[in-house]
Copies of this chain bind each other. A is one copy, B any other.
C-alpha cells in the first residue's frame, strides 16, 4: 500500500515502466542473506546482520581504494619524478570506468528488476541537493571542456592523454549526475551487496577526485602567490603558469580563446571540488538506504513548500549584507590580485566579517531560544539523511574552527595589539562562536516537526480566500482552489478536518456576491488577527533563517571565488612556516566552503518547516 501511496504522492517519470507501484507484500521483500549469518533464528535478525556485514565489507573496499589513491596522490605531491600526474590520472580513469560500468548496470539492470525499489526515502535527495548536483555538474563539465580546448590549442607541447582524461571525466560527471537526479531516493531491495560495493566505489572515486582537486587547487594557489612575488621583484610581466603545465616553453599564445579557457578553468575550479563533496554525501545516503524498509507511518507527509510570505526584515537585512559583501569582495579581489596587497584591504575585509558574524550569532541564539519556547513536537524517527546532515554540519565546521584556533594561537603569541591582528583575532573568535551557535540552531530546527501541516493548510486556504476577496473570481475557482489546498493537507487531526469540511460545505452554499464579500472580510480580519497573535515565533524563525541563508550564501561565495585572506595576510604563514600553514589551510578551507553550502541547505529546511 505504501508503495502505491508513495508513488502517487511523489510521481517520478521513470517509475512507470517498473512494477514498483505494486503493493509491497511480505512476499516481495528480498531479505538479505550473508554466508556468515546462516543460522539465525529469525529472518529479520539475519537480515539485519547481513546488512551490517554488507556495510562492513563494502566500507572496507572503499577504505582500501581511498588509501591506495591517497598514497598515490601524496607520492605525486612529494615525489614528482617517481609518480607523475599522468599515473594518477590513469588510476582515477580506471576507477571512473569501473564506476561507470556499475552505474550503467544499475540503471539498466538492478533498478529495473521486479520489486527492486519498493520504498523511496522522502528525506533523501531534496531538490536543493539534486539541483546543486546538476548545477555543479554542469560547471564541472564546462571546466573539462575548457581544459580540452586549452590542451588542444597547446597540442604541440602536451600529450594526447590530456584530451582523453577530461573526456572520460565528462562522461563520468554526466552519468553520475543523471543517476543521482533520478535515483537518489531509492531504497534498493535487490542485489544488496553488489549495489553497496558499487556505491562505495563511486564514493571512493569522488573522494579521491576531491582530494586531487584540493591539492591541485592549493598548488595552483601556491604558484599564483609565488608568481606575484616574482612579479613584484622584477616589476615585469611574468607569464601565467598553468597548474598542469610544468614546462615554461609551453605558454598560452596571445589569443583571446586561450585566455578565456585559462581564466575559465581557474574560475570554475572550486565548483568541481564542491561537486565531488555533494556527490559523496548523496551517494552515502543511498548506501545507508540500501535494503532499508520504510514502515508505513514513515510515509512522507506532504512537505510544506517554500514561500516568501510574511518575512520582511530577514530578506532585507540579508540582501544588504550580500550587497555590501559583494562590494567588499570586489574591492578585495582588485586589491589583493594587484601587485602589493596592502593593509587597508584586509582591515576592510575583516571589519565586514566582524560586523556580520555577531549579527548571525545573535540571530542563531534567538532562534534557538524561540525553538525552546515553542510548543512543538520533536521528530525522533530514524532518518539517515538528517543524521548525515548533522554529521556533515559538525564535521565541516571542524575545518573552519580548527583554522580559527590556529589563527588565535598565532596572533596571541605574536602581537595581539596591532590593529590588523586584533581584527583577525576577533574575527577568529567570532567565527568559532558563529559556527557553533548556527550548528545548534540548525540541528535543533531539523529535529522539530514541521509546523502542524493542517494549520498551514488552513492558512493557505484563508490566503486563497483573501486573494479571492481582492480579485473577486467566479464561484468555481474558489472551490477548486480550496479543494487543491485540501488535497495538499495531511490528516493531522480529525477535528480540524471536520471543521474544514464544514467550511467547505458552507462555501458551496454561498450564492450572493455581497454576502461572500462580507464573509471574506470577516475571515481575513480574523486571520490577520490570529496570524499576528499566534505565530510571532514562527515569523521570527523564518526571518532569522532567511537572514542566515543569505549571509551564508555570501560567506560561501567569497572564499569560493578566490578570497583567501587567511593565506594572503601572511601572519600565520610566517608564524607556522609556509608548508604547515599551507597544510592547515588546505584542510580547513574546502571544508569551510562546504560548510557554508551545507548550512544554506539546512537553514532552508528550517525556514520551510518553521
Contacts and interface: CB of A to CB of B under 8 A. Distances in A.
A457 to B, nearest CB: 22
B82 A575 contact: yes
A376 B577 contact: no
A484 interface: no
A83 B414 CA distance: 10
A316 to B, nearest CB: 29
A32 B75 CA distance: 51
A36 interface: yes
Contacts of A41: 377
A48 B378 CA distance: 11
A78 B37 contact: no
B372 A35 contact: yes
Interface string A130-141: 000000000000
Contacts of A444: 36
A79 B575 contact: yes
A432 B402 CA distance: 31
Given A36-B372, A74-B406, A401-B63, A45 B575 contact: no
Contact of A378 (B40, B71, B436): B40
Interface in A209-244: none
Interface in A404-444: 405-406, 408-410, 413-414, 432, 436, 440, 443-444
A371 B409 contact: no
A74 B580 contact: yes
Contacts of A48: 380
Of A38, A78, A374, A408, most buried by chain B (CB within 10 Å of CB) is: A78
Nearest to A72: B409
Closest 5 CB pairs of A and B: A82-B413, A71-B409, A39-B375, A67-B405, A71-B405
15 contacts: A35-B372, A36-B368, A39-B375, A41-B377, A45-B380, A63-B398, A63-B401, A70-B402, A71-B408, A75-B575, A75-B576, A78-B577, A78-B580, A79-B577, A82-B575
Given A49-B447, A71-B402, A75-B413, 15 more contacts: A36-B372, A37-B372, A39-B376, A40-B378, A56-B440, A56-B443, A60-B436, A64-B405, A64-B432, A68-B408, A71-B405, A71-B406, A74-B406, A75-B575, A78-B575
